[in-house]
């Protein structure tokens, strides 16, 4: 029986990973550790909260005595580390909180795993990271696992630092690790500071749709359930010490994706064609805004057989339908203390 600690399991990507592992592997005991900051929400896990193999633990990954105690008490066999401060705009405003959570928190977990596991076999520390550590691409080319790191924001610098720590613990202490770097995710349960849920909610309420600069920054988009499947595959089949890039082979300019959203939303809301697009508002570009990200996921495809399951428009339809059917969820996460973040209308990374 495997005991798996999933950090950040109440967040957007984390909740999809937790649900997948709880449902697919009933013989595993899944421990979800989350600090329940503004983007962590236990409503995301109602489907599995009564499952016999699911356990929730509220706590902070930077609390070293607490983390060490968890490893001693539960004897985890593996860690899937997703907990992170993840929003570029907030990292520009408050870089030290990103360094604390993303760098120090990762170091605390690595130390706890090293201390707990020693030289035991069958253990794994899986670190989930971002394509932003690679910096910014020009008009052509792709990020591969060999692309040199070149982070451009406090967020991406903190994630790059944590990636290097994981690699260092593997080489110095022989800690069994794997790392994955993923492109932009979209889908259900995403906090509406990010581009797609922000735009969907603003369209519903006929609010302005803020687009940075000219809207010509390019991102590679991946359906979050496909990311969770990739994590599953890498966790079970990935080679120790290796990095795997996860991407959707699906590049879109920000402005084009907003126009597509408007088109689909007009149809679903019974509005006149072009009505939602009138809400598009161009705002001052973000400091250090990376021009283009694009992932080459060939290694993951060829070595482990993973590939995206959905075409983008189909995934967008599913995503929009979910938010339209879960207005209460959006209202809950954007109420009270959440509003201080949401009302600033951040527009994704």
- CA dist 99 and 80 (Å) reads 20
| Cβ proximity of 181 and 134 under 8 Å | yes
- Based on the residue annotation, tell me whether 263 is a catalytic residue of this protein: no
- Based on the residue annotation, tell me whether 321 is a catalytic residue of this protein: no
Of 246, 248, 115, residue with least CA distance to 179: 246
Of the residues 131, 193, 220, 296, only one is catalytic, namely 131
Of the residues 126, 155, 342, 346, only one is catalytic, namely 155
C-beta contacts of 45-50 below 8 A and 24+ residues apart: 45/9, 45/10, 45/15, 45/18, 45/19, 47/19, 48/18, 48/19, 48/22, 48/23
- CA dist 349 and 330 (Å) reads 20
Of the residues 34, 85, 132, 226, only one is catalytic, namely 132
Strand ranges in 86-141 using DSSP code E only, listed in sequence order: 124-130
- CA dist 29 and 22 (Å) reads 8
- Based on the residue annotation, tell me whether 132 is a catalytic residue of this protein: yes
| Cβ proximity of 73 and 128 under 8 Å | no
Catalytic residues: 131-132, 155
């Amino acid at each position: 029986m495997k005991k798996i600690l999933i950090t950040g399991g109440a967040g957007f990507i984390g909740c999809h990973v937790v649900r997948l592992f709880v449902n697919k592997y009933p013989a595993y005991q899944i421990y979800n550790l989350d600090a329940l900051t503004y983007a962590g929400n236990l409503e995301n896990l109602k489907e599995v909260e009564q499952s016999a193999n699911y356990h929730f633990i509220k706590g902070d990954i930077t609390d070293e005595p607490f983390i060490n105690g968890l490893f001693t008490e539960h004897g985890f066999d593996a860690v899937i580390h997703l907990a992170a401060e993840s929003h570029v705009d907030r990292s520009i405003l408050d870089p030290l909180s990103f360094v604390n959570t993303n760098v120090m928190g990762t170091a605390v977990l690595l130390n706890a795993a090293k201390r707990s596991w020693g030289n035991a076999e069958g253990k794994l520390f899986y670190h989930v990271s971002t394509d932003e550590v690679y910096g910014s691409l020009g008009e052509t080319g792709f990020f591969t696992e060999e692309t040199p790191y070149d982070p451009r924001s406090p967020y991406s610098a903190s994630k790059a630092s944590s990636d290097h720590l994981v690699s260092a613990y593997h080489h110095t202490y022989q800690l069994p690790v794997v790392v994955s770097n993923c492109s932009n995710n979209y889908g259900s349960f995403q906090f509406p500071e990010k581009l797609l849920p922000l735009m969907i909610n603003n369209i519903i309420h006929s609010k302005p749709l803020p687009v940075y600069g000219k809207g010509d920054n390019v991102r590679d988009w991946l359906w979050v359930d496909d990311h969770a499947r990739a994590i599953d595959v890498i966790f079970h089949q990935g080679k120790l010490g290796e990095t795997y890039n996860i991407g959707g082979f699906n590049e879109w300019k920000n402005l084009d994706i907003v126009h597509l959203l408007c088109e689909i939303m007009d149809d679903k809301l019974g509005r006149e064609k072009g009505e939602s697009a009138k809400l598009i508002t161009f705002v001052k570009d973000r400091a250090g805004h990376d021009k283009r990200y694009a992932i080459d996921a060939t290694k993951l495809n060829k070595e482990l057989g993973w590939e995206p399951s959905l075409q983008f428009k189909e995934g967008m339809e599913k995503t929009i339908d979910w938010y339209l059917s879960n207005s209460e969820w959006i209202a809950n996460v954007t109420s009270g203390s959440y509003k201080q973040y949401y009302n600033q209308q951040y527009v994704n990374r």
